[in-house]
Structure 1
Amino acid sequence: MTRYDVVVIGSGPAGEGAAMQCAKDGKHTAIVELNETLGGECLHRGTIPSKALRHSIQRYIESMSNPLVKSHVNFASRELDFPQMLAAARKIIEREAQHNLSYYERNRVDVYGGRARIVTPNEIQIEMGQRGTETIQADAIIVATGSRPYHPPDIKFDDHVLDSDTVLELAYTPRSITIYGAGVIGCEYASIFKGLGIKVTLVNHRAKLLEFLDDEIIDALSYHLREQGIVIKHGEEYEKVERDGNEVQLHLKSGKIIKSEALLWANGRSGNSAGLFGFESGIEIDHRGQIKKNENFQTALPHIYAVGDVSGPPALASAAFNQGRFVALHITRGTSFANLVQRIPTGIYTAPEISSLGKTERELTAEKVPYEVGQAHFRNIARAQITGQTAGLLKILFHRETLEILGIHCFGDQAAEIIHIGQAIMSQPAPNNRVTWFVETTFNYPTMAEAYRVAALNGINRL
């Protein structure tokens, strides 16, 4: 029986980050992946395919609005085809999967294909189908099995009632779609489908979209989604889902019935922990399959860790990768690197994008922190005028007395890229984390980065 220093279960971002770091620190490492190819949910059914779809659609929309292109191409005779878009995304996935395999080979990480089950505190049994079963041992085990879409027991999923996995197998382009659940996944897919010219209804069981965001960003997102033609219904809960031929009827508790050709259920995810432990481990798992862990991502058995979506929020690929590295360093060096799991920016790939870091105005007000706001509207930024992407703004929240940056919120084209400039300054020790850094620094012109200088001056002028 082969014994390893570390065995990682799951090869998504969390598993990859953990395995790579353990291997680089000289630990004999193995990784177990259930699917035929590496990369986990993020690569095959989550972040990469949805963002590849969005990118293709955005480029198409930009081309349609470009007068130089429009004069030579008859776009009226061309329709975007969802299956064709998916085929293009799959090519990206295949390339990334091959890259992932080369990383493990180069770092001498053993790869096992099959379903892992922890049968004793230090033994993992791997069911490999026709290849039989193999058992390996490990001094430390990292569970990074990810999550899957939540399925209510009363809803039958098929080719017209979809989740965020099966929507990536859609073999037709629906004329209309209802999305139940207006979290990150629901809002992103609303933008994607509307970009294809599909009639979209977004049903939200809460009072606002993405309530964890700054209120001004929430309002901007709601406005732009509606401007695109997306119908948003807040404060609604489903009662039942019915099929009538190729039509799906979503019955709401308010008495409304929403009819569409397809329904995308995007309301919650469940951790992939069922059947993982084959002994009385004492490890707690909640009703959504999420494994309870401490601040070091250790379970009730300290040598077994849980990272990524299976361990709960924030359920971001970027956060999961660093959680994996955090745990690996805790194993290999016996210390915690808190910076890896703190101040994590959000990246939401709606149209336009959203990214934020730090406190919101609502939080600072509740905490009675004296803050000021600096804003830069993209319509006033030269680079945005050049690209035509003038919708959006950059917003900096800072302490009125110390000038320390407390939060950065961005809505608009390339927001997920723009946020990192502010992140770098926020992470500096005082006094280098002040808003004044942006007015004392020369930015290339014209660039979107210049928005930081404009926002900082706007805020400082309010003092």
Structure 2
Amino acid sequence: MTHVVIVGGGPGGYEAALVAARLGAEVTLVERDGAGGSTVLTDCVPSKTLIATSDLLTEVESSAELGVEVPSTVRADLASVNDRVLRLAAAQSADVAARLEASGVRLVLGTARLTGPSGVRVETADGEIDLEADGILVATGAHPRVSPDARPDGERILTWEQVYALREIPEHMIVVGSGVTGAEFASAYTGLGARVTLVSSRDRVLPGEDEDAASLIEDVFTERGMTVMGQSRMATVERQGEGVLVTLTDGRVVEGSHCLLALGSIPNTESLGLEDVGVATDDAGFVRVDRVSRTSVPGVYAAGDCTGVLMLASVAAQQGRIAMSHLLGDAVHPLDLEKVSSNIFTSPEIATVGLSQRQIEDSDIQVDVTKLPLAANARAKMQGVHHGFVKLFARAGGGGVVGGVVVGPRASELVHALSLAVSTSLTVDQVADAFTVYPSLSGSVAEAARRLHRP
């Protein structure tokens, strides 16, 4: 029987373990913090749980438009919110552990280090364990980047892993960094009732995303009372009594009660023994992998954020599944980044799939584009939705759908239809001909496809 050792219990690790067990391998999964890894315990699951409460409050704020009278004292109890966040994270971790156990996966709590291309040493609470493996998967994730000039203290200066210790809504939260993480938390704390200032070193928020979507989100942020400081780079963050001072490189100073650092991520690849084994990493420490998750060392694979390949839980899971299928000789489809769907959990959400407008403009692909505002959708009007759109990219002349953007409530759900279209190369007519419910927000997806029909 093939013995597989997986280092890291996040989506890349536990999904790989389940596939390997299904294919008949003996599987040992080593995790430092608990089943599910940081995705479940300190990152994705907790943040989206916090955002769920924020979204509810945002909907309540607009309920008067729907004829609902709400007492003016409606507010979030952040202590209760964060207690719920941590309970749900722990429950999800327990569910992952139970699923692994039911599949016959051995879960070892400890810190691992590769001792060779087929060896892993694990330091546990009870001592060291040496494991021999026919295949190894490294799925150790990443952690928040911090700066020597902005050191988190877990009380006033925080990383996104530390915010769940807060017991009261921040009076003034300064979010440094306007990428996905910064935008999501800035949106969330605005919805929870905090005054928020978003410090962005770029000329707009979400600089790596669809320009129309990012512009809309920035307009919504401003409309909801957020202060967005574009082209403003942080120099230092200092604790001052019960508050913080954020000094910018141009000398301006922003005073707040708290500061959330969203400065990016660093791969958890130090002290893993990768260099000794010969596993190649890039200058930032990310493990180099190919489209079937192989590293530079035969028999050693890597998946997830430690590879830096689109740092999404869904991509990590897919990389892990692909790695095990390849290792164990099952049919395998190499990772295709042109078919990945993703979501940004701001309010409203931004969901994307396939090629972006920027990628299309930088290529020789000839496409037709349509953009349909959600404000014209009957269901959106009923729900009081004013912001959002569906954008569709298809090969010129009514050809296959190659990408799309959805901005609106629950965009993460709406984008699945476009994801199916992109992954199966459906034409715009095939998307348009599929029935949608009336009234529904998904009707806008079909209508956008109809607008790209070419006789």
Query: Which of 143, 148, 151 does residue 146 from structure 2 map onto?
Result: 151
Deviates more, 1:252-261 or 1:288-297: 288-297
- Matched residues in 1 for 2:246 and 2:84: separation? 31
Residue by residue over 1:106-146, the C-alpha shift from the partner in whole angstroms, topping out at 9 and shown as x without a partner, is 110001011111123222111112x1221111111101011
Q: Deviations over 1:153-197 (max 9, x none)?
A: 333211111011111222332100111111100000001000111
The amino acid that maps onto 1:242 is E
**Which of 37, 50, 56 is equivalent to 1:59?**
56
Letter in 1 for 2:348: P
Task: State the SS of the aligned residue for 2:107.
Answer: strand
Q: 5+ residue gaps in structure 1?
A: none
CA distance in 2 between counterparts of 1:279 and 1:235 reads 38
- Please give the TM-score of this superposition, normalised by the length of structure 1: 0.93
Q: 1:287 offset after TM fit, Å?
A: 4.5
What's the offset of the Cα at 1:326?
Answer: 0.6
Contact 2:57–2:75 at 8 Å: present in 1 too?
Answer: no
Contact 2:304 2:316 in 1 (8 A): yes
DSSP-derived class of the 1:446 partner? coil
Correspondent of 1:102 among 92, 98, 105? 98
Aligned residues of 1:181 and 1:205 also touching (Cα < 8 A): yes
**AA matched with 1:137:** E
Partner SS, residue 438 of structure 2: coil
Q: Is the 8 A contact 1:322 1:341 kept in 2?
A: no
Bigger mean CA deviation after superposition, 88-97 or 196-205: 88-97
The corresponding residue for 2:233 is 237
CA distance 1:146–1:89, shift in 2 (3 Å): same
What is the DSSP-based 3-state SS (H/G/I as helix, E as strand, rest coil) of the residue aligned with 2:84? Answer: helix
CA shift for structure 1 position 151: 1.6
Amino acid at match of 1:42: T
Counterpart of 2:130 (choices 135, 143, 147) is 135
Give 1:22's match in structure 2, choosing from 4, 20, 23: 20
- DSSP 3-state at the match of 1:448: coil
Cα distance in 1 for residues equivalent to 2:84 and 2:301: 36
Name the SS of the counterpart of 1:459 in structure 2.
coil
Q: How much has 1:64 moved relative to structure 2?
A: 4.2
Which residue, out of 436, 456, 460, partners 2:429?
436
Q: Count the aligned residue pairs.
A: 453
The equivalent of 1:251 in structure 2 is: 247
Give 1:395 shift: 0.8
Structure 2's unaligned 5+ residue stretches are none
- Code of the aligned partner of 1:434: T
Give 1:143's aligned amino acid: V
Residue identity in the other structure for 1:54 = I
Aligned 8 A contact 2:115 2:277 in 1: no
How far did residue 216 of structure 1 move? 1.2
Offset of 1:100 from its aligned partner?
A: 0.8
C-alpha contact 1:117 1:277 (8 A) present in aligned 2: yes
- Look up the match of 1:180: 176
Distance 1:362 1:28 in 2: 44
DSSP-derived class of the 2:279 partner: coil
Within the alignment, does 1:382 sit opposite 2:378 as a pair? yes
Give the letter for the 2:443 counterpart. E
Amino acid at match of 1:256: R
1:235 Cα deviation from its structure 2 partner = 1.9
Return the offset for 1:69.
Answer: 8.9
Give CA-to-partner distance per residue, 1:315-343, whole Å, 9 cap, x none.
00111111110101011116531257651
3-state secondary structure, aligned to 1:56: helix
Identity of aligned residues (%): 26
Shift >4 Å, 4+ stretches: 67-70, 339-342
Q: Distance in 2 between matches of 1:122 and 1:310?
A: 20
1:40 matched to 2:44? The reply is no
User: Out of 291, 294, 298, which is 1:295 matched to?
Assistant: 291
Query: Per-residue CA shift, 1:224-260, capped at 9, x if unaligned?
Result: 1111111111222222222221121111111211111
SS at match of 1:221: helix
How does the TM-score come out when normalised to structure 2?
A: 0.94
User: Per-residue displacement from partner, 1:299-330 (whole Å, max 9, x unpaired)?
Assistant: 22121111100011310011111111010101
Which residue does the alignment assign to 1:86? Answer: 82
Comparing 205-214 and 331-340, the one that deviates more: 331-340
Contact 2:142–2:268 (Cα < 8 Å) also in 1: yes
- Residue 391 in 1 paired to residue 387 in 2? yes
Asked whether the 8 Å contact 1:226–1:232 carries over to 2, the reply is yes
Q: How far 1:198 sits from its partner (Å)?
A: 0.8
Q: Does 1:206 align with 2:202?
A: yes
Partner of 1:260: 256
**1:283 matched to 2:279:** yes
TM-superposed deviation, 1:288: 3.3
- For 1:162, the equivalent position in structure 2 comes to 158
The CA deviation at 1:290 is 1.4
Q: Is 1:423–2:419 an aligned residue pair? A: yes
2:443 to 443, 450, 457: 450
Supply the distance in 1 between the matched residues of 2:421 and 2:117 (Cα, whole angstroms): 43
> Aligned partners of 1:170 and 1:284: how far apart in 2?
40
Q: Distance in 1 between matches of 2:316 and 2:278?
A: 24
Separation of aligned partners in 1, 2:343 and 2:242 = 35
> Who is 1:325 aligned against?
321
User: Residue 70 of structure 1: CA displacement?
Assistant: 5.2
Query: What SS does structure 2 have at the residue aligned with 1:171?
Result: coil
CA contact (8 A) 1:162 1:263 kept: yes
1:396-455 superposed Cα distances (whole Å, 9 cap, x missing partner): 1122235221221111111111111011122224xxx21112332221111111112221
